[in-house]
Amino acid sequence: MNLDQEIKQHFRCAKCGNTRATVKRFAATGTGLSKLFDIQHNVFIAVSCGQCGFTELYNPEVLEGKKNLGNILDLIFGG
Ligand SMILES: [Zn+2]
């Protein structure tokens, strides 16, 4: 299972408690800094609540490859 799917499975909205999430990856381009870094290091994951639209950003570089990813996601979304 990839990170996006893991996030969807563990998601629980901090605002309304809804468990249906939309996960999108996007590159933070357009700043002067983006030219200095490899584009892969400017990719973020936006997790949006399917009910109220509350959105949080995560850095996939930090989360990908974590052995205890499930535990971390439980922590983020309150289990
Ligand atoms: Zn919500």
pLDDT in tens, 10-29: 999 999 999 999 999 988 76
User: Residue 39 C-alpha to ligand 1 middle, in angstroms?
Assistant: 30
Mean pLDDT of 54-72: 93
Percent helix, percent strand, percent coil in the chain, to nearest 5? 35, 25, 40
* Residue 68: domain span: 3-77
Ligand 1 centre and the CA of 58: distance in Å? 17
Ligand 1 centre distance from Cα of residue 49 (Å): 5
Residue 53 has a pLDDT of: 98
What is the per-residue DSSP string for 9-45?
HH---TTT----EEEEEEE--SSGGGGTS-GGGGEEE
pLDDT of residue 62: 93
The domain tally of the chain equals: 1
What is the DSSP-derived secondary structure letter of residue 30? S
Tell me the pTM.
0.81
Decide: 16 and 54 in contact? Cβ < 8 Å. yes
What is the pLDDT, as a whole number, of residue 30? 61
